[in-house]
């Protein structure tokens, strides 16, 4: 299997029980903290593209606050789960799209959001370059990644054990991205960082909003 296919096939194999497994591995508290942070990042007029939406957990939180949301993923099985969850939201469209090379026009969106995508893909810089292409000048990326930054050692070890118990093995391209890593990636892709936060009580997520420079 090609490298990039492996990135989403791994998650597709886990799609049916993804929500339940995520709750077990990282806890629902972290998911709630991420949603609270995400809800502060958007304007009601925003046309938003989401990359790697998975089962749509965070699409569901953001959609009521924006003009419309195109939630995308490469895994058909993830999109099926998302469709079941998001059916009642009239302003969400689901599409199968590759985060490295989407089919959207340049400058088509006000915001591109991605949660737990950059740390699982082999080439995060390329995903951010594609995000830059589809954003209007002054548009923003809204990025969230679970990280071991700020997590006590024992809690990090327990997290790793829960991960292995549920998902058997980590994805081949998994890496740890802290706030500095996200800021560097965003800067290199032509964005100016506006807001950064480390959310979560024990297990943390690195969250960043950055604006496209003209
Ligand atoms: C760890 S899951 C996160 C899902 C969701 N954002 C969440 O946080 O609940 C990563 C998602 O990225 C998707 N994915 C992986 N590589 C991708 C690619 N190249 N293009 C689009 N989606 C991709 C996977 O199918 C999976 O749904």
Task: Determine the average pLDDT of the residues in 147-172.
Answer: 90
Nearest to 67 by CA among 100, 111, 30, 27: 111
- Among 108, 106, 127, CA closest to 46: 108
- pTM (predicted TM-score): 0.96
pLDDT tens digit sequence for 97-132: 999 999 999 999 999 999 999 999 999 999 999 999
Residue 8 CA to ligand 1 center (angstroms) comes to 6
What is the domain count for the chain? Answer: 1
Of 67 and 88, more confident? 67
Q: Nearest-CA neighbor of 124 among 203, 34, 191?
A: 191
Q: Which residues pair with 196 in a beta bridge?
A: 208
- Nearest residue (CA) to ligand 1, atom 13: 52
CB atoms within 10 A of CB 101: 12
The enclosing domain of 38 has a CATH number of 3.40.50.150
Q: Determine how many CB atoms are found less than 10 A away from the CB of residue 214.
A: 7
Domain that holds residue 127: 3-212
pLDDT of residue 187: 98
Query: Is the CB–ligand 1 distance for residue 53 below 6 Å?
Result: yes
Mean pLDDT of the chain: 95
Is the Cβ–Cβ distance between 139 and 113 less than 8 Å? no
Could you tell me if 121 and 99 are in contact, meaning their C-beta atoms sit under 8 angstroms apart? yes
pLDDT in tens, 9-26: 999 999 999 999 999 999
CA distance 201 to 55: 24
Alpha-carbon distance of 194 to 191, in angstroms, equals 9
For ligand 1, mutation pick of 54, 103, 144 (most atoms within 8 Å of CB): 54
Task: From 28, 33, 73, 96, give the residue whose CB has the most ligand 1 atoms within 8 Å, as the site to mutate.
Answer: 73
Closest CA to 56 of 70, 37, 40, 36: 70
């Amino acid at each position: 299997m090609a490298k990039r296919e492996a990135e989403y096939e791994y998650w597709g194999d886990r799609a049916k029980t993804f929500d339940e497994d995520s709750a077990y591995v990282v806890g629902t508290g972290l998911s709630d903290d991420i949603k609270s942070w995400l809800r502060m990042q958007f304007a009601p007029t925003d046309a938003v593209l989401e990359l790697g939406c998975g089962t749509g957990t965070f699409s569901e939180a953001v959609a009521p606050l924006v003009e419309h949301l195109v939630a995308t993923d490469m895994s058909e099985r993830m999109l099926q789960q998302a469709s079941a969850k998001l059916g009642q939201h009239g302003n969400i469209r689901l599409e199968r799209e590759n985060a490295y090379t989407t089919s959207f026009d340049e400058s088509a969106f006000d915001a591109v959001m991605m949660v737990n995508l950059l740390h699982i893909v082999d080439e995060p810089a390329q995903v951010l370059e594609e995000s830059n292409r589809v954003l209007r000048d002054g548009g923003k990326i809204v990025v969230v990644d679970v990280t071991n930054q700020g997590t006590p050692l024992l809690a990090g070890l327990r997290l790793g054990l829960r991960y292995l118990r549920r998902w058997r093995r980590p994805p081949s391209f998994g890496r740890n991205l802290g706030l500095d890593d996200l800021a560097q990636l965003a800067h290199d892709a032509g964005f100016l960082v506006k807001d950064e936060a480390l959310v979560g009580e024990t297990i943390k997520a690195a969250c960043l909003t950055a604006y496209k420079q003209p």
